Amino acid sequence: MMEPYEAAVEGALSTLRAARTSLINEISAYPRPISGCDAQFNHLLSDRTRISDAINALQNRPFVPTPRVMEPGAASESR
């Protein structure tokens, strides 16, 4: 069974993925002026990066050292 916070994280990931898809579609349909000079287009690119970073942050599980496992990949000590 999924914990309530895990369900919330999965919901956030789902929402962010939908936002990313919508944003990618908007960028694809954007008219082709000189994009480097277009503030709105640059804003869309910035938002795409922010959304991707948020998805990556929620998907990654950082290593948390404990007294038995001080380094990533180290075997836990048995006593």
Looking at every residue in the chain, the average pLDDT score rounds to 88
63 found inside a domain: no
The 10 Å Cβ neighbour count of residue 55 is 16
When pLDDT is cut at 50, 70 and 90, the band that residue 65 belongs to is: confident
Question: Would 20 be classed as within a structural domain?
Answer: no
Confidence of residue 79 (pLDDT cuts 50, 70, 90): low
Domain membership of residue 51 (yes or no) is yes
- Rounded to whole angstroms, the Cα distance separating 7 from 12 reads 9
> What is the domain range of residue 45?
30-58
- The predicted-structure confidence for 3-36, as pLDDT tens digits, reads as follows 999 999 999 999 999 999 999 999 999 887 665 6
Give rounded-to-5 percent helix, strand, coil for the chain: 65, 0, 35
**One-letter identity of residue 56:** N
Q: Is residue 47 part of a domain?
A: yes
User: What total number of domains does the chain contain?
Assistant: 1
Per-residue H/E/C for 49-67: HHHHHHHHHHHCCCCCCCC
Residue 78 identity (one-letter amino acid): S
74 in a domain, yes or no?
no
In a domain, 39, yes or no: yes
